Homo-oligomer: A and B are copies of this chain.
Amino acid sequence: MVKGKDKVSEAVIRRLPVYHRFLTEITEKNVDRISSSELSKLTGFTASQIRQDLNNFGGFGQQGYGYNTVELKEEIGNILGMHHHHDTILIGAGRLGSAIARYNGFKESGFAIKALFDYDEKKIGDNVDGIKIYSMDELEKFIKDKHIEVAIVTVPKQSAKEVIERAIDSGVIGIWNFAPIDITVPNNVVIENIRLNDSLLKLSYYLKERI
């Protein structure tokens, strides 16, 4: 399906979830077809950019007819790997970790949280929405025994590097990192960072320019 796989740039990959988000909204409103220029108005990307992006994966539209919204949403979901299943753990069962553990987007994206881990011995044995909190001492064994693929990291900055390295050494191949650190992972491991502080500083910049 994917043409010239290696050539798909990160910029394209970054736009695919945006298309998926808008297509989800549109299909919920029972809109059957959409043109690239209508998608352009919604997303803010140019129509030619959109056509070019979707051509990377074979192109789905029929000229003059636009895109079938349900099909396109499904196809983009496939490209994004939404129908793959990933057994997942979350490390750092504090406030942010607990909030993230309850986040609804996981199931539909194929991530199933099997356990939480925390350093704080007082939390061990508790659970968040039925997901049990384990001691960090059990991390390596759990990852290996349960073939965990993905770790969500919501520990403080100070312990993030160690935690990520331990997870990868035990077999984790994907990290969703919320800690404000920069870490280089092996080539065969995928890391995706949520940068709360970078986002806040962008807001700060644009407010300063505005005021």
Contacts and interface: CB of A to CB of B under 8 A. Distances in A.
Interface of A: 5, 13-14, 16-18, 20-22, 25, 42, 79-82, 84, 86, 94-96, 98-100, 102-103, 105-106, 109-111, 149-150, 173-174, 176, 180, 182, 188, 190, 192-211
5 shortest interchain CB distances as A-B pairs:
A81-B208, A17-B198, A95-B99, A17-B201, A192-B203
Contact of A21 (B111, B197, B211): B197
Given A205-B16, A207-B81, A176 B192 contact: no
Contacts of A202: 13-14, 17, 192
A29 to B, nearest CB: 14
Nearest to A193: B199
